[in-house]
Amino acid sequence: MAFCGSLVCAYELVKVLEDAFPPLMMAASRALLAAMVIFLFCLIARQPLLPAFRRSAKLAFIAVLGFGTLWAMVSLGERHVDPELAMLLICIVPITTLVITALPPNPKHIWWPAWIGTAVASLGLVVVIGPSRIADEPSALYSVLLIGFGFASYALANVLAEHMTKGLSPVAVGGVTMLYAAILLWGLVFLLESPTNVNPSAEAWLGLIALGVVGSALPGVLMFMLVQRAGAEFLSLYGYILPLLGIVVAWIAFGKAPEMTILLGLPITFAGVATVQWARRRGFSANDLGK
């Protein structure tokens, strides 16, 4: 729940700060701030950083997929869609995780009802997004595709992290991956944007700091803790909790009542998700009995 709560704050802050910072600069800044906060914590708590740096190539790859690509895509995509819709698209993470774990080189047997549930959940997402709204606003379709690609990349990073970060401090891993994500993103900033022309207010800087600490450093560390202790498939379950939290927070804090497409599509998505989880549990039980 702490992981989901920090992500809800992140999506709302990204939307608030979109007029103050260019999208890539915002993503690069939050990654750099998160790395600094995590490294400071590592020094205070005496968390070993050297073992994590020894796996720099692997962690840099995870950083590009899990943070660099995701944050860049979300920052760009939220220019044309609401943060609530962006959070609903997180349902792509568990769907993509299911597909990835069924692929070589170490495929897991997925019981056929799980694929039916995946199809139903995907249909629910189509309803949530609202085809008519996409048809009326081509930029919204472009944004949805960007955000969806970012979440699919994040799902792949989680699966890789489960195997590549074993034996490492999750806090140290979070700091190192944030550092490499920041290096990548800042390179893109100076290539594609003009950071020297940005002149944000003091309130915007405070919001960016909050985004770096609460919306980036905290979930960055919790992600690797959950992956190491429970696995990528368990972590992907946050994709079912976060949309509900996002809707509730937006309704209570900002007075944004959910749209009809969300009210219709979300139950369909969750029905598909429930089918997937039921099929996974039954499938694992059948495998255990077979052994």
Mean pLDDT of the 156-184 span: 92
Q: Which of 130-134, 234-238, 274-278 has the highest mean pLDDT?
A: 274-278
Number of domains the chain contains: 1
pLDDT on residue 136: 58
pLDDT on residue 62: 94
Q: Which of 94, 88, 87 is nearest to 9 (CA)?
A: 87
Pair 275, 120: CB distance under 8 Å: yes
Average per-residue pLDDT for the chain? 81
Mean pLDDT of the 22-39 span: 93
- Give the C-alpha distances (Å, rounded to integers) separating 219 from 4, 6, 225, 291: 8, 6, 10, 38
How distant is the alpha carbon of residue 264 from its chain centre? 24
Tell me if residue 281 falls in helix, strand or coil: helix
207 pLDDT above the threshold of 90 = yes
Residues spanned by the domain of 240:
2-290
Mean pLDDT of the 262-289 span: 68
CA 89, 162, 31 angle in degrees (round to 5)?
Answer: 60
pLDDT on residue 131: 64
222 pLDDT above the threshold of 70 = yes
Q: Which of 78-82, 207-211, 256-260 has the highest mean pLDDT?
A: 207-211
- Tens digits of per-residue pLDDT, 209-220? 999 998 899 988
Q: What is the DSSP letter of 103?
A: S
Mean pLDDT of the 141-152 span: 85
Q: Using pLDDT thresholds of 50, 70 and 90, give the confidence band for residue 117.
A: confident
- Kindly report whether the peptide bond that precedes residue 131 is cis, defined as omega within 30 degrees of 0: no
Compute the distance between CA of residue 5 and CA of residue 79 in angstroms, rounded to an integer: 22
pLDDT on residue 251: 67
The pTM for the full model equals: 0.78
111 pLDDT above the threshold of 50 = yes
pLDDT on residue 76: 80
Compute the distance between CA of residue 227 and CA of residue 237 in angstroms, rounded to an integer: 12
